[in-house]
């Protein structure tokens, strides 16, 4: 058993971080986020590990996973003394709700603040120096006790994060673990909704990414969620994510490749996704304005009766299929059609070609599948099912085939 987050001497010297990172990425390449986190907490090659959390907009996902696996794992919270009051309240609430027993608040030394930023205005003239003083140095001190730390960074956040792996070599000194590297924004929202987790109150007020109050602004619809961080400055990281011991600056490395789009399957075969509007979750539908272009993302266990008052203004509904063995989405589609929903109905997720006819009979117009499923089940396989009505004896009886 590994030493996990406890600050105990390792039983044996660890191999160089680069070797361990290569090994860990190969070993856990096909694991899901929660499994990566669980293994990272127990794998001797990772060593002593802590979660570093800002208790920001999406932090609750990893904190919840951690609380399920081992709530005594150290959690390092950097209080720059420049945070929103809402963040401090949220931090205390989340830690109590999840029962986290080892949250450590990390702050700059008072003498360092007195020497370099006595009036608390350094951020106005030099954000790099301010971050170094209030975040980088305190965290570096705290991490001296650990061999690895867990972050909530994700590829979709773009910039230097677009090529993240689960495990990273931090300057040959430590390993960074990024269990959510491959998650999409919808995955984060689904996890929060499905686990009924408390949201940071500023999210609803237009802050999808939350840092220090002086350096975080509201984000407009359509902007990158991190656009409100150090707005109008050549800065997109606080400096706690290093390359060769320094905060990374300058041109961003290009992603290795364009992210692949999901594939839409229709009776005519494969097509790219032509739906350019965003999707609402059911709980935000009441806030949505406008008619005729609203789109809705539904979990497979949604109750369509909850949507009865809104269906007339919804153009598109996308139903999630977490597993091909989960048939609830078909029932949901059938009920939506019986309730009179005439808009576009899409099944998204783990639907396989053999289920195409069933999906069409249930009322779906199309299916959205991930690129890797499209590779495993190429277009020809789906097209063999495209004449689905010919195989539907009920349709033949009704003269529809």
Of residues 82-121, those binding ligand SF4 (CB under 6 A): 82
- For residue 56, give the nearest of 182, 226, 292, 193 by alpha carbon: 226
Encoded one letter per residue, x for contact with ligand SF4 by CB under 6 A and - for no contact, window 155-194 reads ----------------------------------------
Per-residue binding string, ligand SF4, 49-88, x by CB under 6 A, is -------------------------------x-x------
Q: Which of 54, 127, 209, 386 binds ligand SF4 (CB under 6 A)?
A: 127
The rounded distance, in Å, linking the Cα atoms of 31 and 39 is 10
Q: How far is CA 140 from CA 11, 136, 250, 384, in A?
A: 24, 6, 23, 58
What is the smallest separation between the CB atom of 215 and ligand SF4, expressed in angstroms? 3
88: left (phi over 0), alpha (psi -120 to 50) or beta: alpha
Task: Decide whether 225 or 299 has the Cβ nearer to ligand SF4.
Answer: 225
Residue 246 or 391: the one with the smaller Cβ distance to ligand SF4 is 246
Do the Cβ atoms of 362 and 354 come closer than 8 Å?
no
- Identify the residue among 202, 215, 295, 302 touching ligand SF4 (CB under 6 A): 215
Q: Residue 27 and residue 242: Cα distance in Å, rounded?
A: 25
Among 106, 150, 212, 265, binds ligand SF4 (CB under 6 A): 212
CA distance to 5, 17, 258, 303, 397, per residue, from 25 (Å): 20, 12, 21, 40, 55
Whichever of 212 and 373 has its CB closer to ligand SF4, that residue is 212
Q: Are 382 and 353 in contact (CB under 8 A)?
A: yes
* Piece of 2-10, 86-94, 131-139, 194-202 that binds ligand SF4 (CB under 6 A): 131-139
Closest residue to ligand SF4: CB criterion: 212
Angle separating helix axes 85-98 and 59-70, nearest 10 degrees: 20
Residue 206 — left, alpha, or beta (φ > 0 → left; ψ -120 to 50 → alpha)? left
Q: Counting contacts by CB under 6 A, is residue 136 touching ligand SF4?
A: no
Work out how close the CB of 135 gets to ligand SF4 at its nearest, in angstroms, rounded to a whole number. Answer: 5
**Active site (catalytic) residues:** 238
Site membership for ligand SF4, residue 135 (CB under 6 A):
yes
Report the nearest approach of ligand SF4 to the CB of residue 57 (Å): 15
Query: Binding of ligand SF4 at residue 134 (CB under 6 A)?
Result: yes
Interface with ligand SF4 (CB under 6 A): 80, 82, 123, 127, 130-131, 134-135, 211-212, 214-215, 238
């Amino acid at each position: 058993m590994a030493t996990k987050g406890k600050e105990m001497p390792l039983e044996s010297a660890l191999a160089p971080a680069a070797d361990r990172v290569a090994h860990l990425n190969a070993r856990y390449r096909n694991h899901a986020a929660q499994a990566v986190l669980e293994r990272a907490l127990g794998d001797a090659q990772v060593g002593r590990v802590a979660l570093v959390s800002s208790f920001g907009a999406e932090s609750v996902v990893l904190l919840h996973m951690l609380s399920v696996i081992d709530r005594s794992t150290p959690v390092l919270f950097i209080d720059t003394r420049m945070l929103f009051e809402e963040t401090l309240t949220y931090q205390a609430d989340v830690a109590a709700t999840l029962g986290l027993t080892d949250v450590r608040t990390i702050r700059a030394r008072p003498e360092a603040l007195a020497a370099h930023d006595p009036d608390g205005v350094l951020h106005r003239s030099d954000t790099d120096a301010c971050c170094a003083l209030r975040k980088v140095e305190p965290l570096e001190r705290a991490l001296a006790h650990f061999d690895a730390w867990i972050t909530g960074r994700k590829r979709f956040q773009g910039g230097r994060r677009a090529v993240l792996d689960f495990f990273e070599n931090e300057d040959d000194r430590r390993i960074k673990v990024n269990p959510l590297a491959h998650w999409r924004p919808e995955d984060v929202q689904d996890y929060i909704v499905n686990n009924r987790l408390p949201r940071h109150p500023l999210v609803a007020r237009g802050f999808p990414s939350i840092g220090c109050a002086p350096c975080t602004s509201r984000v407009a619809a359509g902007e990158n969620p991190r656009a409100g961080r150090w707005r109008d400055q050549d800065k997109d990281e606080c400096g706690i994510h290093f390359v060769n011991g320094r905060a990374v600056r300058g041109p961003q490395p290009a992603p290795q490749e364009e992210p692949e789009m999901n594939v839409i399957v229709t009776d005519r075969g494969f097509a790219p996704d032509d739906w350019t509007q965003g999707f609402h979750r059911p709980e935000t539908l009441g806030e949505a304005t406008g008619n005729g272009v609203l789109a809705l993302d539904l979990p497979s266990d949604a109750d369509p009766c909850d949507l009865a008052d809104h269906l007339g203004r919804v153009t598109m509904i996308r139903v999630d299929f977490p597993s091909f063995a989960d048939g609830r989405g078909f029932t949901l589609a059938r009920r939506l059609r019986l309730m009179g929903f005439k808009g576009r109905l899409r099944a998204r997720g783990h639907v396989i070609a053999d289920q195409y006819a069933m999906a069409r009979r249930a009322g779906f117009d199309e299916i959205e599948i991930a690129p890797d499923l499209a590779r495993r089940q190429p277009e020809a396989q789906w097209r063999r099912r495209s004449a689905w009505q010919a195989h539907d004896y009920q349709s033949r009886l009704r003269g529809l085939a």
